[in-house]
Structure 1
Amino acid sequence: MRIISGLYKSRKIVAPKNLPVRPTTDMAKESLFNILNNTFYFNDISVLDLFAGTGNISYEFASRGTEHITCVDQDFGCIKFINETADKFDMPIQTIKSDVFKFLEKTAIQADVIFADPPYSFSEEQFSVIPDLVFKNNLLLEEGVLIIEHSKHTNLSNLANYSHSKSYGGNMFSFFESA
């Protein structure tokens, strides 16, 4: 994986092969950040990266100037890798090792952008818990957006606060906003 733009543009990051992850493709990530670039000033926002995996999305935000980034993942190897990479590049990324659903039930952390990249094998019911908890617990700041990455074979358009989706190859991003 590589960082697309910003301070660390073109830097390659190689994750250990034993991590249980499926990093967002560079093409999908670039398309997502083109959308976000038209909505947010990256140096003025806070980001919550759920099911963070390798930290791929968080590194892109950090490279573009975001200074308040929190990554949540339950895998110790993923958290260790994110911490090592953030230290190596001096990126302002805080990590929390936790089950994402338990984290969302208890956290008071609010963010402008909440990005969730759960396993593509999740059922629609499992996917639905993410926006339910985010909006029930008021975790999005005003004008914020929740983005869930999923397979193009999963349809999240019937979930509460759904706004729209964008498809890139086999990847899909569904956007959720406060009503």
Structure 2
Amino acid sequence: MRIIAGAHKGAKLTSPSGANTRPTSDRVKESLFSMLDGYGVLQAANVLDLFAGSGGLGFEAMSRGAAQVDFVDSSLAATRALESNADKLGLDHSSEVHTGDVLHYLSGLPGQEDPESRVFDLVFMDPPYPLGEDAVTQILRRLSAHLDMESIVVVERAARSPEPTMPDGLEVFRAKTFGETAIHFVQLSGEADTDQKTAD
């Protein structure tokens, strides 16, 4: 796996040894980041990479101008690979790696009323395909407390899976399919430009 554009273009990323990860292909990644560039969400972004694996999406975002990325994965092999990649790229000062369950991590973030509350500009959510749709919805519900009206959540699922069920307050404003992979762009309800609310 490699970074395909930006300040770290061409850098190879270490993959977790013995872990069952599913890296996003270069083709999907290139199209995804082209769309994110169009939304103007990458520069100086505070990013959250859930089910991060080797961190291909989060490190790509940093290469293209994101300021900070928090990586979350329950696999110790994955978080070791994430730490190795951050160190190799010289990005350990602007990234944090969290080992643990995604829902547990989100539950532990300070709430909106707390001055230490976290708001993320961009969230990558690429859960294992066997993860049930109810669990995906529950994660999105917890996540919604840490978004603002400009935030974008990118949910990657199998093309054969149904569109993720949105909890109250969130909506899919764009969807794109690449072979076996489907990408869903999610925002807080009411903000997405109506011109962008298309399923390509």
Superposition TM-score tier, normalisation by shorter sequence = over 0.9
1:147, distance to aligned residue in structure 2 (A): 1.2
- Is 2:188 aligned against 1:178? yes
2:120 alignment partner in structure 1: 111
Question: Which range moves more in the overlay, 166-175 or 156-165?
Answer: 156-165
1:17, distance to aligned residue in structure 2 (A): 4.0
1:96 alignment partner in structure 2: 98
Structure 2: gaps spanning 5 or more residues? 111-117, 190-200
- Is 2:43 aligned against 1:43? yes
- Is 2:154 aligned against 1:147? yes
**Amino acid in structure 1 at the alignment position of 2:177:** S
2:65 alignment partner in structure 1: 65
1:53 alignment partner in structure 2: 53
Deviations 1:126-171 (A, max 9, x none): 2211211112xx1113310111111001112542322231111211
2:27 alignment partner in structure 1: 27
Aligned-residue CA RMSD in angstroms?
1.5
Secondary structure of the structure 2 residue equivalent to 1:57: helix
Secondary structure of the structure 2 residue equivalent to 1:4: coil
Counterparts of residues 120-139 of structure 1 (less than 5 Å): 120-135=129-144, 138-139=145-146
CA distance in structure 2 between the partners assigned to 1:110 and 1:30 by the alignment: 26
Choose 1 or 2 for highest CA Rg.
2
Shift of the 174–41 alpha-carbon distance from structure 1 to 2, 3 Å rule, reads: closer
Question: Which range moves more in the overlay, 7-16 or 53-62?
Answer: 7-16
* Percentage of matched positions with identical amino acids: 29
Secondary structure of the structure 1 residue equivalent to 2:188: coil
CA distance in structure 1 between the partners assigned to 2:16 and 2:105 by the alignment: 25
Paired residue total = 177
CA distance in structure 2 between the partners assigned to 1:59 and 1:35 by the alignment: 17
CA distance in structure 2 between the partners assigned to 1:140 and 1:87 by the alignment: 28
CA contact (8 A) 1:58 1:93 kept: no
- Please point out which of 156, 159, 166 is paired with 2:163: 156
2:80 alignment partner in structure 1: 80
CA contact (8 A) 2:136 2:164 kept: no
CA distance in structure 2 between the partners assigned to 1:86 and 1:18 by the alignment: 20
**Amino acid in structure 2 at the alignment position of 1:7:** A
CA distance in structure 1 between the partners assigned to 2:23 and 2:159 by the alignment: 16
| TM-score normalised by L of structure 2 | 0.83
